[in-house]
Structure 1
Amino acid sequence: MNNPEKKIVIFDDDEDILSICSFILEEQGWTVHAFTECNNIVEKVSAILPNVILMDNWIPDDGGIIATQALKKDEKLKSIPVIYFSANSDIELLANHAGAETYLAKPFDLEELERVINAVLVNNN
């Protein structure tokens, strides 16, 4: 059976979140690429071309909004769904401002993470 590789990129400067998310997603068959900063984000994402991107609001150096906007301005990358995640109470506004497809408030449980990822994949196909 032909099972194309499922790739996800996570941008978060919190090592604990990166390791937990990576572990859970790898268990579900994802290839996880994790970054603790978003410098040269267009180049990073272009090299991987993931199915989904998880973007933290407080990622160094530019921050999640500028990083997401940079991706959405790029012709090759703009259709990749971005899930914006943050502990900020204005997460919905921030995600909309960034141009992300959806958002996930921190702290989140793993079922919620899976549900949001699956939802953007369904909507993107």
Structure 2
Amino acid sequence: MNQAKKVFVFDDNVDILELCTIILEDAGYEIKTSSTSNDIVDQVSAYMPDIIFMDNWLPDVGGIDATRELKAHETLNKIPVIYFSANNDVKSLADQAGADGYLSKPFDIAELEEIIKKYL
């Protein structure tokens, strides 16, 4: 049995975090969630996920800055970051942030699983 892939979801919406947790645990992933992207390097280093989902609207440090910080980090920059947002401009936000991919909200379960498979 190979080790479960680890997913880290940053979102300030508790419902989204719960939904992602249910979907991903169901699909056999390990998941950690956080409602802020403060101390992003510390948070990610402590868990070392295989993939990160980053919401755009986060308190204090927004998703763009948090993603840029990860992408500027010598070891964490290898982890794919999927930007996700209800903003209809999510693609250009993901580009600005330097994210590896993006997912529009609301998303369906298949899309979520699809994008994880694509990047892992």
Q: TM-score, normalised by structure 2?
A: 0.97
**Any residues of structure 2 matched to 1:109-120 within 5 Å, and which?**
109-120=108-119
Structure 2 partner of 1:55 = 54
Query: Alpha carbon RMSD of aligned pairs, Å?
Result: 0.7
Residue 33 of structure 2 is aligned to residue 41 of structure 1:
no
* CA distance in structure 1 between the partners assigned to 2:109 and 2:27 by the alignment: 12
Q: CA deviation at 1:5?
A: 3.0
Q: Which residue identity does 2:16 align to in structure 1? A: I
Count, aligned residues: 120
**Any residues of structure 2 matched to 1:1-125 within 5 Å, and which?**
1=1, 3-121=2-120
Task: List structure 1 segments (4+ residues) > 6 angstroms apart after TM superposition.
Answer: none
* CA distance in structure 1 between the partners assigned to 2:64 and 2:70 by the alignment: 10
- Percent identity of paired positions between Structure 1 and Structure 2: 53
* CA distance in structure 2 between the partners assigned to 1:43 and 1:76 by the alignment: 12
* CA distance in structure 2 between the partners assigned to 1:24 and 1:5 by the alignment: 14
* CA distance in structure 2 between the partners assigned to 1:46 and 1:98 by the alignment: 19
Q: CA deviation at 1:45?
A: 0.1
